[in-house]
Amino acid sequence: MQNRILVAGAGGFIGGHLVAELLRKGHKDIRAVDIKPFEEWYQRSPKVENLQLDLRLKAACEQAAAGVNQVYNLAADMGGMGFIELNRGLCMLSVLINTHLLMASRDAGVKRYFYASSACVYAADKQTDTNVTGLCEADAYPAMPEDGYGWEKLFSERMCRHFTEDFGLVTRVARFHNVYGPHGTYDGGREKAPAAISRKVIEAKLKGKKEIEIWGNGEQTRSFMYISDCLNGIDRIVSSDKATFPINLGSSEKVSINQLVDIVEDIAGIKLKRRYNLSAPKGVNGRNSDNTIIKQTLGWEPAMPLRTGMEKTYAWIYEQMTKRA
């Protein structure tokens, strides 16, 4: 079997970066798959096999996995809190992707399978305080994940575990904590907080506005992981023979949404009046990554400072918005 790699969800933000990273590392036989039309992919390389397939369908998964020995499953119908709180049914349908792709990978003799899970699997009752301590991997049980999207992720984690136990398919699972960076969505309803706040501050700067809308009261706490740390972590987890369980992949640098706005305002060189929309989706009150296990297992954790990553992200979004204007 050739050393062919499948990246499912390659038209998305993380998937597009992953394909580019695999190419930089010298991998030549890559199959990139996404449901979106090619012109809507965030990044697309002519050096790989690009396919538009609906991976919710078993036949599409069989086509995608044929002749492959390593799978990265990042495919999902998802977005920021504004999307997942209002589209729970659509998020749940992504369970078909992982289920059918696991079946196809088992039948195709895939050697290693990576599944991109989420911190949304963590129990809601452990995230009620803005001063939350880092969530460790055991905090996913007793199960009380984010409704819709979180349940799909937690169920799919279990599917990976049981395909390893029952069929010998080697699986690796990472729980992503808020990945951000250039070449992602920053408007349209699916964007996450770093991109959304960057867009709002840039709009205010370009249009001479004096105000910014914040979802919630701004006291919600999160951690945000820059895309290069995410790619580094994926590579380490997939390559390791020790990371045999769902493992946190996120920064432990906790900030409030107000502090994130402070950072973006400082990058932009402006100060805005804040209008808090308390009826908008805001998610849990506090969430942060406990990196004890990834440090013990891999001797590493994400390290890009939020300020540095936001400077890069802001610059890219500013360029896109001024070009479009």
pLDDT for residue 2: 58
List Cβ neighbours of 34 (8 Å cut-off, separation of 6 or more).
8, 9, 10, 11, 12, 15, 41, 52, 53, 75
pLDDT at 257 exceeding the cut of 90 = yes
**pLDDT grade for 324, boundaries at 50, 70 and 90:** confident
How confident is the model over 242-246, as a mean pLDDT?
Answer: 95
- Are the C-beta atoms of residues 206 and 322 closer than 8 Å to each other? yes
Percent of the chain residues topping a pLDDT of 70: 99
**pLDDT grade for 69, boundaries at 50, 70 and 90:** very high
Catalytic residues: 149
SS (H, E, C) the chain: CCCCEEEECCCCHHHHHHHHHHHHCCCCCEEEEECCCHHHCCCCCCCCEEEECCCCCHHHHHHHHCCCCEEEECCCCCCCHHHHCCCHHHHHHCHHHHHHHHHHHHHHCCCEEEEEEEHHHCCHHHCCCCCCCCECHHHHCCCCCCCCHHHHHHHHHHHHHHHHHHHCCEEEEEEECCEECCCCCCCCCCCCHHHHHHHHHHHHHHHCCCEEEEECCCCCEEECEEHHHHHHHHHHHHHCCCCCCCEEECCCCEEEHHHHHHHHHHHHCCCCEEEEECCCCCCCCECCECCHHHHHHHCCCCCCCHHHHHHHHHHHHHHHHHHHC
Higher-confidence residue of 84 and 153: namely 153
255 phi, psi to nearest 5 deg = -140, 155
Q: Which of 52-56, 130-134, 141-145 has the lowest mean pLDDT?
A: 130-134
pLDDT for residue 146: 93
Percent of the chain residues topping a pLDDT of 90: 92
pLDDT at 67 exceeding the cut of 50 = yes
pLDDT at 142 exceeding the cut of 50 = yes
Could you give the domains of the chain? 5-179+224-249 (3.40.50.720), 182-223+253-284+305-324 (3.90.25.10)
222 phi, psi to nearest 5 deg = -150, 170
How confident is the model over 202-224, as a mean pLDDT?
Answer: 95
Q: Which of 1-10, 30-39, 42-51, 157-166 has the lowest mean pLDDT?
A: 1-10
Of residues 315, 80, 314, the one with CA closest to residue 198? 314
pLDDT for residue 1: 39
